[in-house]
Chain A
Amino acid sequence: MLAWLESSALSIWMRDSLWAYPIMLTIHAIGMALLVGTLTVIALRILGLGRFSMAPLQQYFLVVRMGFGVSLVSGSILFLTAPSAFAGAAHFFFSPSFRVKMLVVFLGVIIAWILRSRLARDGTDWPNGEAPQGIKVLAGLSLVLWFGAIMVGRLTAYLP
């Protein structure tokens, strides 16, 4: 399966083209900024930053989703290629740090999902716009997970 992925047309094109890999990395970074950046503002607002209303802020989950889509697609293509030509998809598949990143991202997506549905359900009804304690814990957890994902993601370049 991994060998088939490595010999796929997309994977070969990514390795043969001088610019495909850097450009895909760049797109991955922009997806990250959209996803983590916007989610950070939402989480910080839940934790008490500013007094602006939660209701319009929810619309930014669209940006979060777009960022996730961009990161997922570019990340999958990067997975096919891996940094060194000889490694290919097996490089990431067997990499412990990459597996940790995937786990952290998976948990981050679940928390973001719960935050979004709780905000949509009763985010506008909170007295003084103050979120309940449970939601604040989730928002804090979301910050830890996503910045953790960035940390581990960067470390995949250094660690096995």
Chain B
Amino acid sequence: MLAWIEGSWLGVTLRDFPWAFPAAEILHFTGLCLMLGALIVIDLRLLGFARGLPGRTIRDLMPLVWIGFSINAFTGFLFFVAAPFFYYPNGPLRIKLVLILFAGANALWFERSLRGEADHLAAEDEASSQLKLSAGVSLVLWTSIVFFGRMIMF
């Protein structure tokens, strides 16, 4: 399976162009900044920083989160296809992927149960403790995901 991925047209093409890997890395960092930037603004507001931002700000910023996540899922997939034998057994990558699953579960909880409250927060409203918990978990998980992502090379 890994050998098939490595020998696939995409895998070969990615390795044939010396600038393909650095270009994907730069895009991966760019996606990271888009996603984390929007999440930092949203999560810190929910945790009580920058009171004055209303909850509907979340709707304005959510596209940035999704654009950043899509860029990184795609470039991450390219890294893997270019060097599957390096990435498949890689410990930090496995930890990173598990943490992304946790972050996904937290996002699902937020969207399903908490989003209604969050969107309707007035500028000066304090978020409920459940919202604060979800925001704090999101910040801790995504920071850890960046941490383990950077450790993949070592």
Name A residues whose Cβ lies closer than 8 Å to a Cβ of B.
Answer: 21-22, 25-26, 29-30, 32-34, 36-41, 44, 49-53, 55-57, 59-60, 63, 147, 150-151, 154-155, 157-158
Q: Once bound together, how far apart are the Cα atoms of A147 and B26, in whole Å? A: 9
Rounded to whole angstroms, the CA-CA distance of A53 and B54 in the bound complex is 8
Distance A51 CA – B143 CA, assembled complex (angstroms): 28
Count chain B residues whose beta carbon lies closer than 8 angstroms to a beta carbon of A: 35
What chain B residues lie within 8 Å of A53 (beta carbons)? 52-54, 123
A63 CA to B34 CA, complexed, in Å: 15
Cβ-defined contact, A38 with B41, below 8 A:
yes
Given the known inter-chain contacts A32-B33, A40-B34, please indicate yes or no for A57 contacting B53, CB distance below 8 A: yes
Q: Report the bound CA distance from A94 to B41 in whole Å.
A: 38
A40 in contact with B60 (CB, 8 Å): no
Binding site for A on B (CB under 8 A): 22, 25-26, 29-30, 32-38, 40-41, 44, 49-54, 56-57, 60-61, 64, 123, 143, 146-147, 149-151, 153-154
Other A-B contacts than A33-B37, A33-B40, A40-B37, 10 sampled, CB-CB below 8 A, are: A22-B153, A29-B29, A33-B143, A33-B146, A37-B33, A55-B52, A57-B50, A60-B44, A60-B50, A150-B33
Cross-chain contact A36 with B57 (CB below 8 angstroms): no
Is B37's CB under 8 angstroms from A36's CB? yes
Query: Cβ of A37: which chain B residues have Cβ within 8 Å of it?
Result: 32-38, 40
Smallest CB separation, B76 vs chain A (Å): 15
Residues of A within 8 A of B64 (CB): 40-41, 44, 49
Q: Are A33 and B56 in contact (CB under 8 A)?
A: no
* A21 to B35 alpha-carbon distance, docked (Å): 25
